[in-house]
Amino acid sequence: MTKKQKALEAIRLLKERYPDAACSLTYVVPHELLIATRLAAQCTDARVNTVTPTLFGKYPSIDALAGADVADIEEIIRPCGFFKTKAKDIVGMCTMLRDDFGGVVPDTLEELLKLPGIGRKTANLVVGDIYGKPAIVCDTHCIRLTNRLGLTTTKDPKKTEFELMPLLPPEESNNFCHRLVMFGRDVCRARSPQCAACELEPLCVSKGKQ
Ligand code: SF4
């Protein structure tokens, strides 16, 4: 089986297990996903989801966040960790969105990567989830699982993205990454993967080796 065939089979099996693929961060408008994803660095999505209602309730727009006192943002987002850097990035990115992008979250990787604190993972998530364009979101689950399956050979997120690009049909890539996150939490965990209960076991080059 070629890597491409294996990727297609993994897509099929994960679709069966998780018909509805979705990001587990809560958001309503595009800039909320951008900020929630920034907050999720080194933090769980569940914890971010407990903080963002307060943040977006007090600062309900890009303009409001751009004009916010960084110290006040720090206090609100403190439970997410690295709160000083994250607060500075949130105000910085909203200032740039207001001043340079007409208050609209851009729809290209190139533009999104200009925003403070935004890396390829977040930029791809926004491009895929907000704008419905092909995107490969290389988070820790995606990197771990695609290595275990033998689809990729690197732990580097950007290299993983480029190794996956020729293997994934563009229209499937974004949801495949969401499903990898779900499967990585439920079955193929970093420690103690549940190989005996794994639908992907026939494709896996790492079964029993973890
Ligand atoms: Fe992960 Fe085990 Fe399944 Fe391989 S067989 S994908 S290591 S859970």
Of 80, 205, 210, the closest CA to residue 151 belongs to 205
**Residue 155 banded pLDDT, cuts 50, 70, 90:** very high
Own/partner contacts of 156-164, CB < 8 Å, gap of 24 or more, are 157/120, 157/121, 158/120, 160/136, 161/120, 161/124, 161/136, 164/7, 164/136, 164/138
**pLDDT at residue 21 tops 90:** no
Q: Which of 9, 194, 200 to mutate to test the pocket of ligand 1 (most atoms within 8 A of CB)?
A: 200
Dig out the tokens for 46 from the structure.
């569940």
193 Cα nearest atom in ligand 1 = 8
Break the chain down into helix, strand, coil percent, rounded to 5: 60, 0, 40
Dig out the tokens for 5 from the structure.
């065939």
Determine the pLDDT at residue 47: 97
Would you say the C-alpha torsion 59, 42, 178, 124 has a positive or negative sign?
positive
> Is residue 12 a contact partner of residue 199, using CB atoms and an 8 Å limit?
no
Q: What is the distance between the terminal CA atoms of the chain, rounded to a whole angstrom? A: 23
CA distance 168 to 132: 15
Question: Would you say how long the chain is, in residues?
Answer: 210
> Is residue 179 a contact partner of residue 17, using CB atoms and an 8 Å limit?
yes
199 Cα nearest atom in ligand 1 = 3
State pTM to two decimals.
0.90
Ligand 1, pocket residues at CB < 6 Å:
148-149, 187-188, 193-195, 198, 200-201, 204, 206-207, 210
> Is residue 43 a contact partner of residue 81, using CB atoms and an 8 Å limit?
yes
Dig out the tokens for 51 from the structure.
């903080």
**pLDDT at residue 15 tops 70:** yes
Report the catalytic residues: 121, 139
What is the share, in percent, of the chain residues with pLDDT greater than 90? 94
Radius of gyration of the chain (CA): 18
Determine the pLDDT at residue 169: 97
Determine the pLDDT at residue 210: 66
Instruction: Please give the mean pLDDT across all residues of the chain.
Output: 95
**pLDDT at residue 5 tops 90:** yes
What digits encode the pLDDT tens for the residues 102-129? Answer: 999 999 999 999 999 999 999 999 999 9
Dig out the tokens for 71 from the structure.
């110290």
Determine the pLDDT at residue 25: 94
128 CA → ligand 1 middle, Å: 26
**pLDDT at residue 149 tops 70:** yes
Residue reference for tokens 């960790």 = 81
What digits encode the pLDDT tens for the residues 31-66? Answer: 999 999 999 999 999 999 999 999 999 999 999 999
What digits encode the pLDDT tens for the residues 163-188? Answer: 999 999 999 999 999 999 999 999 99
